Structure 1
Amino acid sequence: MLTNINPKLPMRDKKITMDFYLNKLGFQLFGSPNYDGYLMVQKDQIQLHFFEFKNLNPDENYGQVYIRTNSIDTVYQTFLDAKVWIHSNGQLENKPWQQREFSILDPDKNLLTFGQSL
């Protein structure tokens, strides 16, 4: 039986990634931050893992995660208050596929889309 999924996304600089997820998005460290070239963060029931990829070209990064929430408007406002840049093609809106969603890019241009069922 499948019970959970923890996406692994590329990062160029662990300190920058950690700062963004902890201080901008409100995640917390999971496990030890001392793993060489690896980072794990969590918020509520969501856990994201990152592996070091120093030669990553962010403009060629297609890392994407869809994160479901039951409080999309609160998450959106929290990010706005923290001055998180909302993707220009991912503003908060109701989609034809019955989701209310928005998207952001992290420092390595991993796309994070947050959505709630309508």
Structure 2
Amino acid sequence: MITSIIPKLPMRNKETTRRFYKNLGFEAFGNDFPGYLMMKNESAEIHFFEFPDLVPDENYGQIYIRSSAVEALYTMCLEGNIEIHPAGSLSRKAWGQKEFSLLDPDKNLLTFGQPSDDK
């Protein structure tokens, strides 16, 4: 019955959010609704709702994104000067994932992960 789950994260500025996620390989799609943004990368979607009074340092929005090429994505972020979370450098975790994290302009935490080959 359930076909997908799409996270909805807060954003303060639609164009800033669109540019940030475009640099991660996402593209805007669908209708351009006021105060709402839909971004897609292959089959992954993230939606954003406008929250102009959001205080980024008080935002606890976070999502986990599975990747089939987490090392390449990490390299792309570094080469594109996308800031990696201070505690989120690419590493192999005890739970068998290679992961890294970053914060978007509204301090939504994005963690990217892929099963580790060398558990």
Q: Which range, TM-score by smaller chain?
A: over 0.9
The answer for the alignment partner of 1:17 in structure 2 is: 17
SS of the residue 1:80 aligns to: helix
CA shift digits 1:22-71 (9 cap, x unpaired): 1x212111112x20100000112110000000000000000000000111
1:60 and 2:58 correspond: yes
Give the TM-score, by structure 1 length: 0.95
Aligned equivalents of 2:2, 2:33: Cα separation in 1 = 26
Percentage identity across paired residues of the two chains: 53
Q: Which runs of 5+ in 2 are unaligned?
A: none
Counting matched residue pairs gives: 116
Say what the alpha-carbon RMSD is for the aligned residues: 0.8
1:106 alignment counterpart: 104
- Runs of 4+, deviation exceeding 4 Å: none
Partner amino acid, structure 2, of 1:28 = E
How much has 1:81 moved relative to structure 2? Answer: 1.2
User: Residue in 1 aligned with 2:25?
Assistant: 26
Q: TM-score with structure 2 length normalisation?
A: 0.94
Alpha-carbon separation, structure 1, partners of 2:29 and 2:46 = 9
Structure 1 unmatched runs, 5+: none
> Cα distance, 1:110 vs. partner?
0.3
